[in-house]
Amino acid sequence: MTPIHQHFPALGTTVEGVLHSSDALSMQQVWDKVRRLVNAFERRFSRFQPSSELSLLNGQAGRPITVSAEMLELFLAARRAWDRTEHLVDPTIGAAIISAGYDVTFDRVPVETVSIQAPETNAQPRPSLSMINIDPIVSTVTMPAGVSIDMGGLGKGFLLDAVARTIEEVTNDFWVSLGGDVCVSGTDGGRPWRIGVQDPAALERDWATLTVPTGRWAIATSGTTKRKGVRHGRRWHHIIDPRTGRPALTDLVAVTVVADSGLMADALAKAILIRGSREGLTWLQRQHQVEAIVITDRHDLLTTSGARPWLTLL
């Protein structure tokens, strides 16, 4: 079995993977399929592309809109993540992101200089996924006025799962990364996969590796150090707390979650980060098939009991 490395630019980052196989042609074909899948996803779900299905949906408030099967599937996945995180991961924060200054793709936002506008005080209730009517029978979505959707947080994990299922058609030994959300499966030539964990304080290096057991695992890291700024002397970042509509006040700078799906790894990493170290880890211990490692703003390292043996500090 030969490891075959592939990569291409997409989603404002790099899609990359290593597939173990003795059939190079099949690997190339499946990677072409992955590329088409990712490009189609971007065309359909990017809120930064005016012609995307998501942008068109965001512009149609108050009436049922028939959506594609893929959009419906993503909405249903978003609702599962919203339920599991007890409503902390909510795709209706789109308006809050825009008011925070992220009205262009993150690629072009300088991390030091963006300043958020003052949140508008008004009597309208804060948007929530509960306000959106999703009808899977007739494939329609109805959004109230003033609510817009941003699938960025959940979309990457959702797409990672779709990519992994595609690759599994030809091999069970691989890893694939969508901009740092990683799925590993099987083994690395007979050895367990070792995943590097980026240091949130020094993004050019890793601070640890995770050696996960054989199986399929998704690993996602949420943090507050990559996109951030200062306003009125307060440090802020891009992880929005749906309860307030503002950047989450948390003592955590990075959360790495290992879960059985990319969707949940992504969602749970954000949920723990929003909750903070004490509440987040206590809450997580009640979840199944999930492990996590967190770093606090005092540089404390905390892990769930299952993650400890996987961790190697560098």
Partner 1 sequence: MPRYHSILQDIRPLTPGILGLVVVRQDGQSYPQFLPGQYATLSFPSHSRIKGERSFSIASSAADLTKLEFGIRIGGRYTTALRQLRPGDRVEAAGPFGQFTFEPFRDQSAVFIAGGIGITPFMSMVQTATDIGLRNSLRLVYSVRSLADAAYVDVLNDLSRRNPNLGVTYVVGDRRVPPGTSNIRPGFVTADIFSAAIGKNPWGHSYFLCGPPAFMNVVTKQLQSFGLPKTAVRTERFAVASSALIEPGSWLPKLTIASWGLATVALVGFFAVREKDRRDELSAAPPTTIINRNANAAGNTNTAFLETPVPIVNTAPNPPTPPAVNTNTTTPIVNTTTTPVRTTPAPTIYQPPPMRYVPQPRTTVS
Which three-class secondary structure state does DSSP give residue 134?
A: strand
Q: Which residues of this chain interact with partner 1, rule CB under 8 A?
A: 3, 5-9, 12-14, 16, 18, 156, 175, 177, 179-182, 184, 188, 193-198, 200, 203-210, 219-223, 225-226, 254, 256, 314
The residues near 232 (Cβ < 8 Å, ≥ 6 apart) are none
> Which one, 141 or 173, has the nearer CB to partner 1?
173
Residue among 52, 237, 268 at smallest CA distance from 154: 268
> Which one, 19 or 132, has the nearer CB to partner 1?
19
> Which one, 106 or 126, has the nearer CB to partner 1?
106
> Which one, 141 or 178, has the nearer CB to partner 1?
178
- Residue by residue, DSSP assigns 175-206 as EEEETTEEEEEE-BTTB--EEEEEETTEEEEE
* Shortest spacing between CB 209 and partner 1, in angstroms: 6
Cβ(13)–Cβ(162) under 8 Å?
A: no
Provide the edge-to-edge strand list for the sheet that holds 133-135: 65-66, 140-142, 133-135
> Which one, 226 or 231, has the nearer CB to partner 1?
226
Helix (H) or strand (E) holding 255: strand 252-259
* Shortest spacing between CB 66 and partner 1, in angstroms: 32
> Which one, 82 or 175, has the nearer CB to partner 1?
175
* Shortest spacing between CB 6 and partner 1, in angstroms: 8
CA angle 5, 172, 258 (to 5 degrees): 85
* Shortest spacing between CB 59 and partner 1, in angstroms: 27
* Shortest spacing between CB 238 and partner 1, in angstroms: 9
Residue type, 298: R
* Shortest spacing between CB 265 and partner 1, in angstroms: 9
